[in-house]
Every structure is written in structure tokens, then in C-alpha cells.
Amino acid sequence: MKFLGIIPARYASSRFPGKPLIDIEGKTMIQRVYEQVKKSTKLNEVVVATDDSRIEQAVLSFGGNVVMTSGHHQSGTDRCAEVIAQYRDYDIAVNIQGDEPFINPEQIDLLASCFADPNTQIATLVKEIIQDDELFNVNIPKVVRNARGEAIYFSRQTIPFLRGVQKEEWLQKQKFYKHIGIYAYQVDTLKALTHLPISMLEEAEALEQLRWLENGYAIKTAITNHETVAVDTREDLDKILKLFFNK
């Protein structure tokens, strides 16, 4: 089974334009992501997927693999599907966020392990929530899993709702999980996903993965203990510099 790691990278970001090319202690963010992903023991190859020539040149400058894709994709999933069409001898596509410069490669390996089960169509990661500020933060998607470790539902609201329990006691009464936004797909499944129309639940929650659940696809989850730190704003960049470089 061959795994292709794909890092979608857009220059146009409403909150932080050009963020793949920001400097993080002497390296662009996309280079730091790429180098971390290359440390995975499961990926056979890694490629950046972009629609911007500036990002393409930056990746080529540090010796990375890059593919130019359409500028009309609505999601990283669609961009990954275009890439996998050019890499025909791969079985699994792994969609890795391009704004996590210190992603732990063990997370990628854990995700890949989900495909030891040949019935796995889609896989993603979750992490147990241990703090109230995360539990009730609507910007952090939550997920409920079934007994087989598959996602039942994703929501920006806190799920499950504990009826008759004070909110400050919820973490003592129930395990809650947040979603870590990294995916892997069987190649045929990935291709099929791009043809699904936007669904009612996806539109309601603004969560793409609900489209897949609503159309009957199973999403296998694995529990990670590693935290992820994404750069969505300049304030996030400041946090990264303090956390990893004591700046």
C-alpha cells in the first residue's frame, strides 16, 4: 500500500494573506511543514499542491516536490483529488494542513495505520479535550465516535450534551473529543467525494466532513496525544515563536 502526502497551500487567505511564505526563524512556513511531513515513516512521497507561482518557486528553492493546481477549488480535498489524478500508482492520499509548521510526524503515521483495516474509506484524528475553554469554544469542532472508532457526527457545539449536569462538571462525567484536521482517503473514495453536492448538515455547521457522513461514508478516527498548532492569524505566529523559539 502506497501513501502520498499532499500539502495544499493557498496564497490567498482572508485572515492572513501569503501565510505559506511567512518567515519562521529563517525558513518559510511551507518549508517547515514539508520538512516535518517528510519525517513520517509511512509516506512514500510528499508533494505541495498550490495555485500560486510564488509558493511553487519557494518549494522548488528548497528542493521540494510541488504540483500546480486549479485556482477554483473550494477545499483542500478538491485540490488533493486533482493531485492524485497525476500520481496514479498510489493507494492512499493524506491531506496535511499547510499551516501547521511543527506538525508531529507521528500523527501522520498514526493516521496511516487506520488503513491496516482494508474497509477504511476515510480516516482522521481526534484528541481528548481536557480544558473547559476548548470544550465550549465553537471554533473548535467536536466529534462523537461509535464503538468501532468511527465518527458519528461533528459539530462546533459541544457534543454530546449532558442533560441535567452542570457544565463545569461535564469533563468529569464524559470523554469529549476535538477534531484534528488531517485526513487520509482511499484514492477511489477521494475521487468520489469531489462529486458530492454540498449537503444540508455541511452548510449548517460549515464542516465539509459532514457532507461525507450524510452521504453514507464512514470516517475512521484514531486518538492522538499530540497537540497541533495552526497559524491562522499573525497572533498565532507570535504564539508559535514564543512556544518553539522563546521569542
Quote the strand ranges of 1-110, DSSP E.
3-9, 23-24, 27-28, 45-50, 66-68, 92-95
- Element of type H or E holding 81: helix 76-84
The neighbouring-strand residues paired with 127 are 178
Longest dimension (CA), the chain: 58
Give the confidence band of 67 by pLDDT, cuts at 50, 70, 90.
very high
Residue at grid coordinates 493507494: 91
15 has a pLDDT exceeding 80: no
Report the C-alpha gap between 27 and 24 in whole angstroms. 5
Give the confidence band of 74 by pLDDT, cuts at 50, 70, 90.
confident
pLDDT per position as a tens digit, 161-190: 999 999 999 999 999 999 999 999 999 999
Q: Per residue in 216-233, is it b (16+ CB within 10 Å) or e — as a string? A: ebbbbbbebeeebeebee
With 0-12 / 13-18 / 19 or more C-beta atoms within 10 angstroms meaning exposed / middle / buried, residue 191 is middle
Report the C-alpha gap between 223 and 220 in whole angstroms. 10
Quote the pLDDT of residue 198: 94
232 has a pLDDT exceeding 90: no
Percent of the chain residues topping a pLDDT of 90? 85
For the chain, give the mean pLDDT: 94
Q: Are 225 and 108 in contact (CB under 8 A)?
A: no
Residue 166 φ then ψ, to 5°: -65, 140
pLDDT per position as a tens digit, 186-223: 999 999 999 999 999 999 999 999 999 999 999 999 99
Hey, is 178 helix, strand or coil? Answer: strand
Task: Show the domains of the chain with their CATH numbers.
Answer: 3-226 (3.90.550.10)
